[in-house]
Amino acid sequence: MNMKNIVTIKGMLILTLALAAISCKNSDSKNSSRATGWEINSRDGGFQYNTQYREQETAPGLVFIEGGTYTKGQVQDDVMHDWNNTPTQQHVQSFYMDETEVTNIMYLEYLDHLKRVFPPTTEGFRAIYNGALPDTLVWRNRLGYNEVMTDNYLRHPAYAEYPVVGVSWIQAVEFSKWRTDRVNEYNLARAGYLDKDALLTESTATSNFSTGAYINAPSQTFAGNEEIKTTGRGGNVRTDEDGNESNIYATRESGILTPSYRLPTETEWEYAALGLSELREYNTYRGRKKYPWDGQYTRSSERRSMGDQMANFKQGKGDYGGIAGWSDDNADITAAVKTYEPNDNGLYDMAGNVAEWVADVYRPIVDDDFNDFNYYRGNVYTKNAINEDGTVKIVTTDNVVYDTLSNGKIVARNLPGDLLQIPIDDNDTYLRSNFSTSDNRDFRDGDKRSSRYYADFNGDDSKTNNMYHSPKNSTSRDSAGNIVREYDKSNNKTSLISDEVRVYKGGSWKDREYWLDPAQRRYFPQDMATDYIGFRCAMSRVGSKTRSETKSRN
């Protein structure tokens, strides 16, 4: 080897070491504060933060929907002439949505967990499990034989991958909360903050996990059960020179806990259903879509699937699936999820199969003059209840709150381990410009010019100008504890709309083609269920609008 080669090798070695030093320096700079210069994530303690966080991980069952601007509302002829979906321009933030509807097997997992943690054989817990059960009697028809669905649809393996029905809006919301806690339990166990085996063996009614409680009072979660909380914490713990431990618990700064599963807003659901990506032409859309798929018809125009129905729906009177054979749509009631092709967002059954609950309280008015960003009607702001010593109140087995719904069904408002929530008060709203009350469901839902004055003769002659004056059926209990159901017999009610009716979107197996348009909107009481309304969950996107692997737009 000559001298020239030796010099070259030495030069390359020096260059490599220099680059490595620069790389280390850049890496170290990420762990020092640009505000103070102090070290972040020191092994001796101090400020702990996930400086290596890249972006939100897609949670189980979800697909990413990149947000944007679109025209919400009816873009075809309004043959119903109800004009409750006048086109408005809205902007939606990026979010995630379930690839399919929540299926029977997914909901059965929820019921199984409730049954194990809150045994219905225990008197105090019976209403928790029973309140979550779907209403299988929704399949019954006085002039139809549907007992096979009544008995089998929820639990038989033949229907495992079919969308769950008989679930009210309230039950769908509770399922979403439960799902959030289970996914975050898994994330914490995977990261070494919880013992994975103990989640099954030690989780009980008195030692239950709640994401909100873990964030706000981690030492009190699982009722202080150290066996669950600390056995598997791995290398997360920091110990200073005096032996004091820190970073025992994950925090929001850890980036491990996922945002909440929830019902999508109406605006999100419609945007996701349309799948507008294929209509883009620079910064405009080339047309308006009638269905989640391209075209003006319900049958496929693709060569490989020419003539196949794109969804299952009621094609005509007495025709729920077509004539048996090649032209049949493969379903007379619901169909297994993923039976039909997904839309351009990768979402299945955004038309047909089952209609779906969304988060919004129904009003015929969409007030885009006040807001055109993440539009949603239904905000009821709450805060954590605080004990006298300043700690947060956590629900125990002794103070679970149960609600009796308008149909007499009893449901748990919260579960042991949850944070107790109370409405915000004047201390939170004083001199605020963006909100002034806890309950905002009625905000800007009509003015006096659009209201009617009328006499309400239910015991007095006083007049009111409430725009939405729906029947008020009631339930109460007699001295023996039996539920007494009373119907509102007033003849002066002017509307079926109230703060307890929610929007549902999309056509179902029981609907005609008209309702397959994602713009169509209907409403139903939030505490009642049907055989044609299901649901899917959504999750907010935190951080960047687009994912890191997204290609350049230039």
How high is the pLDDT of residue 454?
45
Neighbours of 549 (CB within 10 A): 6
How many other C-beta atoms are found inside a 10 Å radius of the C-beta of residue 81?
Answer: 6
Percent of the chain with pLDDT over 70: 83
Spatial contact of 424 and 432, defined as CB atoms under 8 Å apart: no
Question: Does 62 have pLDDT greater than 90?
Answer: yes
Beta strands in 174-254 (DSSP E): 238-239, 245-246
Confidence of residue 11 (pLDDT cuts 50, 70, 90): low
Confidence of residue 115 (pLDDT cuts 50, 70, 90): very high
57 vs 4, residue with greater confidence: 57
Higher pLDDT, 543 or 491: 543
Percent of the chain as helix, strand, coil, to the nearest 5: 25, 15, 55
Say if CB 451 and CB 426 are below 8 A apart: no
- pTM given for the model: 0.88
For the four alpha carbons of 132, 138, 139 and 142, in that order, the dihedral sign comes to: positive
Q: Are 496 and 470 in contact (CB under 8 A)?
A: yes
Higher pLDDT, 314 or 163: 163
Predicted confidence at residue 26, as pLDDT, reads 45
- CA–CA distance, 262 with 277 (Å, rounded to integer): 24
Report the length, in residues, of the chain: 554
Q: Which domains does the chain have, with CATH numbers?
A: 56-84+91-191+256-373+503-548 (3.90.1580.10), 443-498 (no CATH)
Lowest pLDDT segment from 229-238, 390-399, 414-423: 229-238
Instruction: Tell me the pairing of strands 533-534 and 355-361.
Output: parallel
Distance, in Å, from the CA atom of 25 to the CA atom of 28, rounded to the nearest integer, reads 5
- Least Cα distance to 502 among 177, 266, 296, 187 occurs for 266
For 506-546, give the DSSP string.
Answer: S--TTS-GGGGSTT-EEEEETT---SSEE---EEE--S-SS
The DSSP letter of residue 144 is B
pLDDT digits (tens, 9 = 90+) for 465-510: 567 778 888 887 777 778 788 888 888 777 888 899 999 999 999 9
Question: Residue 152's CB: how many other CB atoms inside 10 A?
Answer: 14
Q: Evaluate if residue 25 carries a pLDDT over 50.
A: no
pLDDT in tens, 127-160: 999 999 999 999 999 999 999 999 999 999 999 9
The Cα-based distances of 215 to 41, 170, 445, 503 in angstroms read 19, 25, 36, 32
Q: Nearest to residue 190, comparing CAs of 219, 227, 233?
A: 233
382 and 424 Cβ atoms separated by less than 8 Å: yes
Rounded to the nearest integer, the mean pLDDT of the chain is 84
* Higher-pLDDT residue of 471, 270: 270
Give the residue carrying structure tokens 């969304």: 358
Helix ranges restricted to H, 39-168:
104-117, 126-132, 147-152
Q: Is the pLDDT of residue 1 over 60?
A: no
State the Cα–Cα distance between residues 158 and 32, nearest whole angstrom. 57
Instruction: State the SS3 of 302-360.
Output: CHHHCCCECCCCCCECCECCCCCCCCCCCCCCCCCCCCCCCCCCCCCCCCCCCEEEEEE
- Residue 483: helix, strand or coil by DSSP? strand
